[in-house]
Amino acid sequence: MHTNVNTLFDNLWDNYLAVTPSADKIHDLLGSTQKDDIINDHIALRTFNIEKVGLEKLAAHFLALGYTECGEYHFEAKKLYAKHYEHSDPKQPKVFISELLVEKCSPELQAIVTDMVAQIDENAVTADNFLYSGTHWQVSSDTYKQLLAESEYAAWMSAWGYRANHFTVNINMLAKFDNIHDVNQALKNAGFALNTSGGEVKGSPEVLLEQSSTLADDYAVTFSDGELRIPSCFYEFAIRYPKADGELYTGFVAASADKIFESTNAR
Ligand code: OOG
Ligand code: NI
C-alpha cells in the first residue's frame, strides 16, 4: 500500500496519461494560465466482484490513506455496483470504485473473467502499484470482442485492467470557466468529441451535480493474437452545487453515472 496520497495520485495520473494523449491537451486548454492548479473532483476505478479483487480490495488502498466510505450506487442494467470514498482533506480527489456483478453474467463471460482473475498473483493486489498495474492476463482479440458483445465494462477491463479510467476536472475550482456549458463548448471548439449519451450534460443544479465527459481516446492494445485500436480512458468535468446547509454536495448521481460509464464505448 502507498503511504502518501499524493504519490498514489501522481502514479495514477502518469499511468492514465500514457494511454490518454488527449488529457494533457485538455489540461492545457482548461487551465493554461495556471496549469498546475487544476483540481480533480474524482477519479474512477473498475473491477470484478470476485473476492480476490473485489471493490473492497481496491478500496483498502484508499482507506489506508485516510479515505472513508460515503455512498453506494446500483446499476441494474449494466450489472454494476459502486461505492464512493472521500478524504478528510476536501482538496484530495474523491474516488469512485465500481465492480461487475459477474454471477449475473453469462456462463461464458464468467469463465473468461474467472480465468483472467486466476492469473493475478495474490500479492499483487496489496502491492503499492496495484491500482495502476494494468492487466495481469492475456486475452485474444476474439475474447475481447466476445466480452464486448455482452458487457462493454468487462471488455474494457480485459484490455486495460487496473488503472484510473478517468480523472475529473473540478469546474468549481477553474479560474477561466464558471459553468459546464462553456467548458463543453471550449472542448468542442478544440475538436474533442463529447459523450452524448443522456445528453452532453448529465444531471442538473437540482440534483446538485452536473457532469460531462469526452469519449475515450482510441489507443492500440496488444492482444495475444495482435494489435487492435480500442477506447482507452476519458476526461470528465464536474460542477457541484451547495446543499441547504451551504456546503457543496459531495456525492454522485446514479442516473448520471450510468451514462458516464458509456464514455468508453466505441465512437
Ligand atoms: C465510472 C462512471 C461513473 C461518475 O462520475 O458518475 C462516474 C466509470 O466509468 O468507471 O465516474
Ligand atoms: Ni466520474
Whether the CB-CB separation of 162 and 133 falls below 8 Å is answered with yes
Per-residue pLDDT at 35: 45
Q: Is the CB of 156 under 6 A from ligand 1?
A: no
Mean pLDDT of the chain: 96
Q: Is the CB of 211 under 6 A from ligand 1?
A: yes
Q: Which of 41, 260, 262, 263 to mutate to test the pocket of ligand 1 (most atoms within 8 A of CB)?
A: 260
* Per-residue pLDDT reduced to its tens digit, 81-93: 999 999 999 999 9
Q: Is the CB of 212 under 6 A from ligand 1?
A: no
* Per-residue pLDDT reduced to its tens digit, 236-250: 999 999 999 999 999
Whether the CB-CB separation of 241 and 249 falls below 8 Å is answered with yes
Ligand 2 centre from 155 Cα, in Å? 19
Q: Which domains does the chain have, with CATH numbers?
A: 5-264 (3.10.180.50)
* pLDDT over threshold 80, residue 45: yes
ipTM over 0.95: yes
pLDDT band at 34 (very low <50, low <70, confident <90, very high): very low
* Per-residue pLDDT reduced to its tens digit, 117-143: 999 999 999 999 999 999 999 999 999
How far is the C-alpha of 136 from the C-alpha of 119, rounded, in Å? 6
* pLDDT over threshold 80, residue 37: no
C-alpha 29, offset from chain centre: 21
Ligand 1 centre from 260 Cα, in Å? 5
Of 206, 252, 214, 212, give the one whose Cα is nearest residue 93: 252
Per-residue pLDDT at 38: 81
